Homo-oligomer: A and B are copies of this chain.
Amino acid sequence: MRAYKQVVERVEGQILAGTLKVGDRLPAERDLAVQLQVSRAAVREAMRTLEAQGVVRSGVGSGPDAGTVVSALPSEALTRVLRLHVALANFAMDDVVAARVMLERSSAGLAAAHASAEALAAVAEPLEAMSGEPDRHEFNDLDTAFHIAIAEAGGNRLVADMTIAIREAMRLPILRELEQLGERWPEVRTRLCAEHRAIHDAIAAGDQVRAAELMEAHIHSARRLLAP
Protein backbone atom coordinates (compact mmCIF):
# COMPACT_ATOMS: atom_id res chain seq x y z
CA MET A 1 0.00 0.00 0.00
CA ARG A 2 1.30 3.47 -0.81
CA ALA A 3 2.57 5.40 2.18
CA TYR A 4 -0.05 8.18 2.19
CA LYS A 5 -2.82 5.57 2.11
CA GLN A 6 -1.56 4.08 5.35
CA VAL A 7 -1.97 7.47 7.00
CA VAL A 8 -5.44 7.99 5.48
CA GLU A 9 -6.56 4.54 6.62
CA ARG A 10 -5.22 5.10 10.14
CA VAL A 11 -7.13 8.37 10.55
CA GLU A 12 -10.30 7.09 8.83
CA GLY A 13 -10.20 3.97 11.00
CA GLN A 14 -10.09 6.10 14.14
CA ILE A 15 -13.02 8.20 12.86
CA LEU A 16 -15.10 5.10 12.02
CA ALA A 17 -14.27 3.56 15.42
CA GLY A 18 -15.35 6.75 17.17
CA THR A 19 -11.98 7.44 18.81
CA LEU A 20 -11.45 10.65 16.78
CA LYS A 21 -14.19 13.25 17.11
CA VAL A 22 -14.91 16.69 15.68
CA GLY A 23 -12.60 19.21 17.34
CA ASP A 24 -9.84 16.70 18.11
CA ARG A 25 -6.36 17.71 16.99
CA LEU A 26 -4.27 15.26 14.94
CA PRO A 27 -0.65 14.66 15.97
CA ALA A 28 1.87 17.04 14.36
CA GLU A 29 3.06 16.09 10.89
CA ARG A 30 6.48 14.97 12.10
CA ASP A 31 4.99 12.87 14.93
CA LEU A 32 2.56 11.10 12.57
CA ALA A 33 5.45 10.44 10.17
CA VAL A 34 7.51 8.85 12.96
CA GLN A 35 4.56 6.85 14.36
CA LEU A 36 3.66 5.36 10.98
CA GLN A 37 7.22 5.25 9.61
CA VAL A 38 6.40 7.23 6.51
CA SER A 39 7.83 10.45 5.08
CA ARG A 40 6.44 13.85 6.06
CA ALA A 41 5.53 14.29 2.39
CA ALA A 42 3.29 11.20 2.66
CA VAL A 43 1.58 12.67 5.75
CA ARG A 44 0.96 15.91 3.83
CA GLU A 45 -0.55 13.97 0.91
CA ALA A 46 -2.85 12.11 3.32
CA MET A 47 -4.01 15.43 4.79
CA ARG A 48 -5.03 16.60 1.31
CA THR A 49 -7.23 13.48 0.95
CA LEU A 50 -8.85 14.03 4.34
CA GLU A 51 -9.33 17.77 3.66
CA ALA A 52 -11.05 17.01 0.36
CA GLN A 53 -13.46 14.77 2.30
CA GLY A 54 -14.24 17.65 4.68
CA VAL A 55 -13.12 15.71 7.76
CA VAL A 56 -10.02 17.72 8.69
CA ARG A 57 -8.97 21.33 8.44
CA SER A 58 -5.24 22.17 8.24
CA GLY A 59 -3.36 25.20 9.42
CA VAL A 60 -5.68 25.93 12.34
CA GLY A 61 -4.04 28.37 14.75
CA SER A 62 -0.44 29.49 14.35
CA GLY A 63 3.01 28.97 15.79
CA PRO A 64 3.22 26.03 18.20
CA ASP A 65 -0.60 25.75 18.15
CA ALA A 66 -0.80 25.31 14.38
CA GLY A 67 -2.18 21.95 13.43
CA THR A 68 -4.81 19.84 11.79
CA VAL A 69 -8.19 19.50 13.48
CA VAL A 70 -11.01 17.00 12.86
CA SER A 71 -13.82 19.03 11.30
CA ALA A 72 -17.41 18.90 10.14
CA LEU A 73 -17.42 20.27 6.61
CA PRO A 74 -19.58 17.73 4.75
CA SER A 75 -21.55 20.33 2.78
CA GLU A 76 -18.43 21.82 1.19
CA ALA A 77 -17.02 18.37 0.36
CA LEU A 78 -20.29 17.12 -1.17
CA THR A 79 -20.67 20.33 -3.16
CA ARG A 80 -17.19 20.11 -4.66
CA VAL A 81 -17.66 16.45 -5.61
CA LEU A 82 -21.07 16.95 -7.23
CA ARG A 83 -20.08 20.15 -9.05
CA LEU A 84 -17.11 18.45 -10.69
CA HIS A 85 -19.03 15.32 -11.67
CA VAL A 86 -21.94 17.32 -13.10
CA ALA A 87 -19.38 19.25 -15.19
CA LEU A 88 -17.84 15.96 -16.34
CA ALA A 89 -21.33 14.86 -17.42
CA ASN A 90 -21.01 11.83 -15.20
CA PHE A 91 -24.65 12.49 -14.34
CA ALA A 92 -27.21 13.10 -17.08
CA MET A 93 -28.93 16.47 -16.68
CA ASP A 94 -32.38 14.81 -16.56
CA ASP A 95 -31.20 12.63 -13.66
CA VAL A 96 -29.84 15.68 -11.83
CA VAL A 97 -33.15 17.50 -12.30
CA ALA A 98 -35.13 14.46 -11.09
CA ALA A 99 -32.91 14.19 -8.00
CA ARG A 100 -33.30 17.92 -7.41
CA VAL A 101 -37.09 17.67 -7.62
CA MET A 102 -37.11 14.85 -5.07
CA LEU A 103 -34.81 16.66 -2.63
CA GLU A 104 -36.38 20.10 -2.96
CA ARG A 105 -39.95 18.77 -2.71
CA SER A 106 -38.86 17.26 0.57
CA SER A 107 -37.03 20.43 1.69
CA ALA A 108 -39.99 22.67 0.85
CA GLY A 109 -42.40 20.40 2.74
CA LEU A 110 -40.07 20.22 5.74
CA ALA A 111 -39.63 24.01 5.66
CA ALA A 112 -43.43 24.51 5.67
CA ALA A 113 -43.67 22.19 8.68
CA HIS A 114 -40.67 23.42 10.69
CA ALA A 115 -39.34 26.82 9.56
CA SER A 116 -38.57 29.23 12.41
CA ALA A 117 -39.28 32.95 11.96
CA GLU A 118 -35.55 33.48 11.47
CA ALA A 119 -35.27 30.73 8.82
CA LEU A 120 -38.33 32.14 7.03
CA ALA A 121 -36.73 35.60 6.98
CA ALA A 122 -33.68 34.06 5.31
CA VAL A 123 -35.97 32.60 2.62
CA ALA A 124 -37.66 36.00 2.08
CA GLU A 125 -34.43 38.03 1.94
CA PRO A 126 -33.19 37.07 -1.56
CA LEU A 127 -36.73 37.65 -2.91
CA GLU A 128 -36.54 41.34 -2.03
CA ALA A 129 -33.29 41.79 -3.90
CA MET A 130 -34.58 39.76 -6.87
CA SER A 131 -37.57 42.05 -7.33
CA GLY A 132 -35.15 44.93 -8.05
CA GLU A 133 -33.18 44.83 -11.30
CA PRO A 134 -30.40 42.32 -10.65
CA ASP A 135 -28.21 41.33 -13.60
CA ARG A 136 -28.08 37.65 -14.57
CA HIS A 137 -25.08 36.93 -12.38
CA GLU A 138 -26.67 38.55 -9.31
CA PHE A 139 -29.99 36.87 -10.10
CA ASN A 140 -28.31 33.46 -10.21
CA ASP A 141 -26.60 34.08 -6.84
CA LEU A 142 -29.90 35.21 -5.28
CA ASP A 143 -31.74 32.23 -6.78
CA THR A 144 -29.11 29.89 -5.29
CA ALA A 145 -29.47 31.66 -1.93
CA PHE A 146 -33.28 31.25 -2.04
CA HIS A 147 -33.13 27.50 -2.66
CA ILE A 148 -30.39 27.01 -0.05
CA ALA A 149 -32.38 28.98 2.56
CA ILE A 150 -35.36 26.65 2.03
CA ALA A 151 -33.12 23.59 2.39
CA GLU A 152 -31.68 25.03 5.61
CA ALA A 153 -35.17 25.89 6.92
CA GLY A 154 -36.27 22.26 6.58
CA GLY A 155 -33.97 21.28 9.43
CA ASN A 156 -32.68 17.97 7.98
CA ARG A 157 -28.94 18.56 7.71
CA LEU A 158 -28.25 15.71 5.25
CA VAL A 159 -31.16 16.59 2.94
CA ALA A 160 -30.04 20.24 3.11
CA ASP A 161 -26.43 19.39 2.29
CA MET A 162 -27.41 17.22 -0.69
CA THR A 163 -29.82 19.94 -1.90
CA ILE A 164 -27.13 22.61 -1.58
CA ALA A 165 -24.56 20.46 -3.35
CA ILE A 166 -26.89 19.89 -6.31
CA ARG A 167 -27.98 23.55 -6.54
CA GLU A 168 -24.35 24.69 -6.35
CA ALA A 169 -23.44 22.16 -9.05
CA MET A 170 -26.13 23.77 -11.25
CA ARG A 171 -24.88 27.33 -10.65
CA LEU A 172 -22.60 27.49 -13.68
CA PRO A 173 -24.87 25.61 -16.14
CA ILE A 174 -27.83 27.82 -15.09
CA LEU A 175 -25.76 31.02 -15.48
CA ARG A 176 -24.84 29.94 -19.02
CA GLU A 177 -28.52 29.40 -19.81
CA LEU A 178 -29.45 32.82 -18.33
CA GLU A 179 -26.80 34.45 -20.52
CA GLN A 180 -28.30 32.88 -23.64
CA LEU A 181 -31.82 34.18 -22.99
CA GLY A 182 -31.38 37.37 -25.02
CA GLU A 183 -34.43 39.65 -24.96
CA ARG A 184 -36.57 37.05 -23.14
CA TRP A 185 -34.60 37.78 -19.94
CA PRO A 186 -36.97 40.38 -18.31
CA GLU A 187 -40.00 38.15 -18.94
CA VAL A 188 -38.27 35.03 -17.56
CA ARG A 189 -37.07 36.95 -14.51
CA THR A 190 -40.59 38.21 -13.76
CA ARG A 191 -42.01 34.72 -14.09
CA LEU A 192 -39.36 33.08 -11.86
CA CYS A 193 -39.82 35.80 -9.23
CA ALA A 194 -43.58 35.13 -9.12
CA GLU A 195 -42.97 31.39 -8.68
CA HIS A 196 -40.47 32.03 -5.89
CA ARG A 197 -42.92 34.34 -4.13
CA ALA A 198 -45.68 31.68 -4.28
CA ILE A 199 -43.33 29.04 -2.81
CA HIS A 200 -42.36 31.43 -0.02
CA ASP A 201 -46.02 32.14 0.75
CA ALA A 202 -46.92 28.43 0.93
CA ILE A 203 -44.01 27.81 3.32
CA ALA A 204 -44.97 30.83 5.43
CA ALA A 205 -48.57 29.53 5.56
CA GLY A 206 -47.29 26.14 6.76
CA ASP A 207 -48.89 24.38 3.78
CA GLN A 208 -46.56 21.39 3.26
CA VAL A 209 -48.39 19.83 0.29
CA ARG A 210 -48.70 23.11 -1.60
CA ALA A 211 -45.08 24.11 -0.89
CA ALA A 212 -43.84 20.76 -2.27
CA GLU A 213 -46.12 20.92 -5.35
CA LEU A 214 -45.13 24.51 -6.16
CA MET A 215 -41.44 23.66 -5.78
CA GLU A 216 -41.72 20.74 -8.20
CA ALA A 217 -43.70 22.86 -10.69
CA HIS A 218 -41.10 25.66 -10.36
CA ILE A 219 -38.11 23.42 -11.10
CA HIS A 220 -39.81 22.00 -14.21
CA SER A 221 -41.00 25.46 -15.27
CA ALA A 222 -37.49 26.91 -14.90
CA ARG A 223 -36.08 24.07 -17.05
CA ARG A 224 -38.59 24.90 -19.80
CA LEU A 225 -38.03 28.67 -19.56
CA LEU A 226 -34.24 28.35 -19.66
CA ALA A 227 -33.99 25.63 -22.30
CA PRO A 228 -32.11 26.97 -25.34
Q: Which residues of A contact B (CB under 8 A)?
A: 4, 12, 15-16, 18, 21-22, 41, 44-46, 48-55, 70, 72, 74, 77-78, 80-85, 87-92, 95-96, 98-99, 102-103, 106, 156-159, 161-162, 166, 172
Contacts and interface: CB of A to CB of B under 8 A. Distances in A.
Q: Please give the count of copies of this chain that the complex contains.
A: 2
Contacts of A89: 22
A91 B74 contact: yes
26 contacts: A12-B84, A22-B88, A22-B90, A41-B44, A48-B48, A52-B52, A52-B53, A53-B81, A54-B81, A72-B85, A74-B85, A77-B81, A77-B85, A78-B78, A78-B82, A91-B161, A95-B158, A96-B158, A98-B158, A99-B158, A99-B162, A102-B103, A102-B106, A102-B159, A158-B166, A162-B162
Contacts of A44: 41, 45
Which 6 A/B pairs are nearest by Cβ-Cβ distance? A52-B52, A48-B48, A74-B85, A72-B90, A49-B52, A99-B158
A15 B45 contact: no
Contacts of A70: 88
A53 B79 CA distance: 10
Interface of chain A: mostly helix, strand, loop or mixed: helix
B72 A15 contact: no
A102 B103 CA distance: 8
A51 B5 CA distance: 12
A12 B83 CA distance: 10
A90 B102 CA distance: 22
A44 to B, nearest CB: 6
A98 B157 CA distance: 10
Given A44-B45, A157-B91, A80 B99 contact: no
Contacts of A92: 157
Given A49-B52, A53-B80, A72-B85, 17 more contacts: A4-B48, A15-B88, A16-B172, A22-B89, A48-B49, A49-B49, A50-B52, A52-B52, A54-B85, A70-B88, A74-B90, A91-B157, A91-B158, A92-B157, A102-B103, A102-B106, A158-B166
